[in-house]
Amino acid sequence: MTTATALIAEDEPLLAASLQAELARLWPELQIVASVGDGQRAVTQSLALLPDVLFFDIRMPGLSGMDAAAELADRWDTAAKSFPALVFVTAYDQYAVAAFEAQALDYVLKPVQPARLQKTIEKVQSALANRAPTAMDFEATLERLRHVLAAPAGAAVPRLTLLQASVGNQIHMVPVADVLYFEAADKYVRVLTAHHEYLVRTPLRELLAQLDPQCFWQVHRGTVVQAAAIARVLRDESGKLSLALHALPQTIPVSRLYAHLFKAM
């Protein structure tokens, strides 16, 4: 049997305990180094403990399991240790399950089903036994995460050309073509133009589905930038990218997930 460490991120204590009990029965050599109840703690503890396997609930307070995995991928030191094997824990959702299967990301359904969990364990054990800590392996993980984080396919959504933003007791009509970037901020999305900032309540993921992907690029978990607004791509000493815009002084960080968008032609 493969000896490994794991972290469980699940906001329902009974489900977390059930998963931990089944793992102890089916994979007794596995050491659970932490069990946390929200996405941000999942990221913090994973970076501190460097587990081999992550069991992330996809719906948690604050950061979702998907967003926590994306942030962790951005901050993980691949020189210190290979990125963990990812297993997502989810109530049945045909779209989520289809996305995981299409991208070869493993998942466990709630409530925990021992037979299905056994298959997941065997898959993870095989992956850990055959893992080679290469940049190519990590890039493959990033590519899978990019696909499952993308707006779900479905009926065509009309392109958004005009944004209605409340300012006091007024509604401002903001042409989408004037927007330099969108940034998620708590319960709002910041909408930045060259001269104004607006707040809207529509979630960034919902806005993204209505934007032209040729014109607006997601560059971070919570940031979408108008491509034509980008003046330069900057690289720091550690290799991380950031964007300088034509009309605004601040720079915008680019996460590892989206660094592939910026390659010299």
pLDDT at 75 over 60: yes
In this predicted structure, which of 2-6, 25-29, 111-115, 228-232 has the lowest mean pLDDT? Answer: 2-6
Q: How confident is the model at residue 92 (pLDDT cuts 50, 70, 90)?
A: low
φ, ψ of residue 123 to 5 degrees: the values are -65, -45
Smallest Cα–Cα separation from 245: which of 158, 171, 180? 180
- The DSSP output letter for 161 is -
- Domains of the chain with bracketed CATH: 4-149 (3.40.50.2300), 162-261 (2.40.50.1020)
pLDDT tens profile 149-175: 775 544 567 899 999 999 989 999 999
pLDDT tens profile 185-242: 888 999 999 999 999 999 998 999 899 999 999 999 899 999 999 999 999 998 899 9
Position 128 scores a pLDDT of 87
Smallest Cα–Cα separation from 37: which of 112, 89, 111? 89
- 171: how many CB neighbours lie within 10 A of its CB? 10
